[in-house]
């Protein structure tokens, strides 16, 4: 089944600047695996070294976050869009006050 993956601007450096990639997949996990097979350099930015999806990378299917709705096992209807969405975090260093 054909799935369109929308790539955030930060990760397009690894997808030949393409903002959308079409893959064949039935689940979120299959879609992301297909993406990383096509573009291996994107993998370290999506997965931790142990192979777990980075905590700040979210996957939306049909506009809904699948983190608590099946995760990588979530099914993707044919023709649907999957969007990779990072949550952004940061902050001041500890103990380096001015």
Partner 1 sequence: MIRLPRKLDAAIRAEGEKTYPNECCGVLLGQIDDENVREVDEILPIDNARDDGEQYHRFRIEADDFMRAEQLARQKGRDVLGFYHSHPDHPAEPSEYDREYALPFYAYIIVAVEKGRAAKLTSWELKLDRSRFETEPIEPIE
51 binding partner 1? (CB under 8 A) = no
Interatomic CA distance for residues 98 and 33, integer angstroms: 45
What SS3 state is found at 13? helix
DSSP letter at 32 equals H
The residue (of 1 and 36) whose beta carbon lies closer to partner 1 is: 36
Which of 40, 44, 71, 77 binds partner 1 (CB under 8 A)? It is 44
Binding mask 14-43 vs partner 1 (x if CB under 8 A, - otherwise)? Answer: ------------------------------
User: Within its chain, how far is the Cα of 97 from the centroid?
Assistant: 35
């Amino acid at each position: 089944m054909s799935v369109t993956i929308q790539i955030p601007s930060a990760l397009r450096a690894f997808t030949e600047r393409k903002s959308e990639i079409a893959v064949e997949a039935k689940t979120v996990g299959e879609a992301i695996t297909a993406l990383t097979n096509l573009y291996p350099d994107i993998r370290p930015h999506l997965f931790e070294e142990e192979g777990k999806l980075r905590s700040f990378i979210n996957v939306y299917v049909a506009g809904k976050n699948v983190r608590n709705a099946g995760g990588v096992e979530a099914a993707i209807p044919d023709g649907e869009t999957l969007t990779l969405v990072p949550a952004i975090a940061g902050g001041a260093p500890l103990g380096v006050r001015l």
